[in-house]
Amino acid sequence: MYETSDIRKGLKVKMDGYPWIVVDFQFVKPGKGTAFTRCRLKNLKTGSVLERTFKTGEKLDEANIEEHHAQYLYTDGEQYHFMDQESYEQITIQKNAMGGSENFLMENMEVAILFYENAPMNVELPTFIEAEIVYSEPGKKGDTATGATKQATLNTGATVLVPLFINQGDFIKVDTRDGQYVERVKK
């Protein structure tokens, strides 16, 4: 059992029979009334996101989630195949359970697979990846407005916004949580 004071990003709880993970939270102490915690939660089974408010002192059930480290092998379009790093068993996950993380998967990438009641629920990628730009419009000379961006396609298939000075063939670091460009990487 968790209390509202235990709430933090990444906390896994069980509500309404489903496993949820805390995506974001904010502790609010109004001038009048009791304090509360406002949370954004993501359903690990369906991928839906919900906002919920918990009063101070409320109890939350702990979700019995196991984490297995695995290596990405391949996809056949609708299913993604991984190999458990300890048991060497193959784990198959449906595309709809990937929650968008499939856009950043790279061959042989090590990931964490979350299991709930012995069934794979979600894939957690490394926070940052380094990927190559396979397509990007060239930046135009004189087009140097502060913070200007353009779209670029990575070798993983994802499309991200990058600064104008990034070109095709460059390697960049990307945050897999939100798909944001972080920096250019020398290779």
Q: What is the pLDDT of residues 45-81, one digit of tens each?
A: 777 889 999 998 899 999 888 889 999 999 998 899 9
pLDDT digits 0-9 by tens, 127-140: 999 999 999 988 66
Q: What does the block give as tokens for 30?
A: 């109004």
Determine which of 10-14, 94-98, 104-108 has the lowest per-residue pLDDT on average.
94-98
Determine which of 49-53, 121-125, 153-157, 158-162 has the lowest per-residue pLDDT on average.
121-125
Q: What does the block give as tokens for 89?
A: 């068993």
Pick the more confident residue, 120 or 131.
131
How many structural domains are present in the chain?
3
Strand 49-55 relative to strand 171-175, pairing: unpaired
Q: Which of these three, 26, 43, 62, is where a domain ends?
A: 62
> Same structural domain for residues 107 and 148?
no
- pTM for the model: 0.74
pLDDT of residue 146: 67
Q: Which of these three, 78, 105, 124, is where a domain ends?
A: 124
Summary mean pLDDT of the chain: 88
Q: Which of these three, 106, 124, 142, is where a domain ends?
A: 124
> Same structural domain for residues 57 and 70?
no
6 burial type by CB count under 10 A (0-12 exposed, 13-18 middle, 19+ buried):
middle
Cβ atoms 165, 139 nearer than 8 A = yes
Q: Which domain holds residue 17?
A: 2-62
CATH value at residue 138:
2.40.50.140
Cβ atoms 63, 50 nearer than 8 A = no
pLDDT digits 0-9 by tens, 6-48: 999 888 999 988 899 898 999 999 888 889 999 999 888 777 8
